[in-house]
Amino acid sequence: MSEAQRTQVAIVGAGPAGLILARLLACQGVESIVIERRDRAYVEQRLRAGVLEQTTVDLLRAAGVGERMDREGLVHEGLYLQFDGVRHRIPLRELTGGRAITVYGQHEVVKDLIAARLGGGDEIVFEADDVRVLDVDADLPTIRFKVDGDERTIRCDFVAGCDGFHGVCRSTIPAETLSVYERHYPFAWLGILARTPPSLDELIYAHHERGFALHSMRSPELTRLYVQCSPDDTLDMWPDERVWEELHLRLATRDGWTLREGPVVEKSITTMRSYVVEPMQYGRLYLAGDAAHVVPPTGAKGLNLAAADVKVLAAALVDWYRTGRRDLLDAYSATCLRRVWRVEHFSWWMTTMLHRAPGDDAFDQRLQLAQLRYVTSSRAAATMLAENYVGLEHV
Ligand code: FAD
Ligand code: DHB
């Protein structure tokens, strides 16, 4: 066993939460080590979210990692809600005083952050096995793990639990100190990446009696599409022909618009849940991102919420190192949870407005359509959607 290494903040997980936190701390002169279970290629290729809120874009720019995003990201000033075969545009920029979203894949954000960190000579330990988080209620927490069979030990002032929903950090907190709030949805998303130009220059969220569908994109050559499916479905139940058939049906409009097909280069199923753990901290361990909360993907919020958490955490840690004051750290969970619950509500609202649940009857469908008509015809209601979608200002 090698000697223990010392750092200021040990960050478990090299997803968006862990990597953005590491970057924000580095910008303020606080030292950290990032410990990641997977290898670099895996985290750089993991296809997930694609929509960055204005707030996230601003944060990445301020942290000096926005250069490629500004060059390659697609700025969208509006989105479409579709129902009854008719598309209605929500003009995001106009309704929010000039704010917009940027379509730029989560794995591209991750690549940019990893390149910046390694380029600056800071450490990310990839392929860390058997990660254990110890003594977070003492002054000097310890992280132990194995790399290539060798045991390594890191001692630190603080641990940031950025290891996603299935990570180890949350489970090191005594269960009796935590409250869990959870909802499962009786549907899932089957997502494909198709090598074909987008069929429209903005996103389409479509309500359909056969279930929800979403048209998104990754670049001028790559279209990202989702269809609602059952959480029990497996990929072999969804050959490409069936996926295209459902997408054509659910995204069809009455004006003869056509969806472009192309070779499917990726296909996966994502189940959906809402989940919040309170509080998001225990001793010197602070949870951030999916480690603390999960939203269904309909509002495109998961990655953005992770970024908002670590902005709060970085400011609190920097303040502690500068002044020795604990008040921002002590308030971390309460500060984050205000935004978390707003976003939980927005994601739940978008999800229930747009999906068809098994057992839904004509009454449920009429309520959904009434809500969709209201959101697309009342400026006040459209503004509510728009300001949540582009992201409420960070605190
Ligand atoms: P993660 O991105 O999960 O990162 C956690 C990191 O910790 C990972 O790299 C993981 O390998 C690592 N890790 C886990 N356990 C350990 C351990 N024991 N030790 C060390 N490291 C560990 N959001 C959307 O808005 N739109 C979408 O379309 C969308 N699609 C998604 C599809 C899938 C399959 C999933 C799982 C999520 C999706 N999300 C989507 C949600 C969004 O991607 C997440 O909210 C976002 O990744 C959260 O970032 P994070 O850094 O908190 O967690
Ligand atoms: C994408 C994912 C989302 O969850 C969403 O609401 C919009 C777009 C995407 O992957 O492009």
pLDDT tens, N- to C-terminus, the chain (395 residues): 578 999 999 999 999 999 999 999 999 999 999 999 999 999 999 989 999 999 999 999 999 999 999 999 999 999 999 999 999 999 999 999 999 999 999 999 999 999 999 999 999 999 999 999 999 999 999 999 999 999 999 999 999 999 999 999 999 999 999 999 999 999 999 999 999 999 999 999 999 999 999 999 999 999 999 999 999 999 999 999 999 999 999 999 999 899 999 999 999 999 999 999 999 999 999 999 999 999 999 999 999 999 999 999 999 999 999 999 999 999 999 999 999 999 999 999 999 999 999 999 999 999 999 999 999 999 999 999 999 999 999 88
Is there an atom of ligand 2 within 6 Å of 300 CB? yes
> Is 389 considered catalytic here?
yes
pTM: 0.97
How far apart are the CA of 12 and the centre of ligand 1, in A? 12
**The pLDDT value given to residue 256:** 87
Q: Which residues of 59-74 are buried (b: 16+ CB within 10 A; e: fewer)?
A: bbeebebbeebeeebb
Does residue 372 line the site of ligand 1, with CB under 6 A?
Answer: no
Residue 302: CB within 6 Å of ligand 2?
no
CA of 164 to the centre of ligand 1 (A): 5
Residue 55 near residue 39, CB atoms below 8 Å = no
Counting ligands in written order, the one closest to the CA of 216 is 2
User: How much is the pLDDT for 389?
Assistant: 98
- Tell which atom from ligand 1 comes closest to the C-alpha of 43: 9
Minimal CA–CA distance to 329: which of 339, 320, 321, 341?
A: 320
Distance 157 CA to ligand 2 centre (A): 37
**Contact present, 18 and 43 (Cβ < 8 Å):** no
Q: Which of 80, 104, 205, 282 is catalytic?
A: 205
Phi-psi region of 99 (alpha: psi -120 to 50; beta: other; left: phi over 0): beta
The SS3 call for residue 20 is: helix
Q: Which residue carries 């902005």 as its tokens?
A: 311
- Residues 6 or more apart whose CB falls under 8 angstroms from that of 367 comprise none
**pLDDT value for 395:** 80
- How does strand 74-76 pair with strand 9-12? unpaired
**Whose CA is closest to atom 15 on ligand 1?**
167
163 Cα: distance to centroid of ligand 2 (angstroms)? 21
Tell me, what's the pLDDT at 268?
Answer: 97
113 lines ligand 1 (CB under 6 A): no
Q: What is the pLDDT of residue 272?
A: 97
Judged on CB neighbours under 10 Å (0-12, 13-18, 19+), 318 is middle
Minimum-distance ligand to the CA of 107?
A: 1
> Is residue 251 a contact partner of residue 204, using CB atoms and an 8 Å limit?
yes
Dist CA 382 CA 107 (whole Å): 30
Decide: 224 in ligand 2 pocket, CB within 6 A: yes
Q: Are 313 and 213 in contact (CB under 8 A)?
A: no
Q: Which atom of ligand 1 is nearest to the CA of 106?
A: 43
Catalytic residue among 226, 286, 332, 389: 389
Which atom of ligand 1 sits closest to the CA of residue 47? 32
Active site residue 321: no
pLDDT of res. 1:
58
Q: For residue 159, which ligand has an atom nearest its CA? A: 1
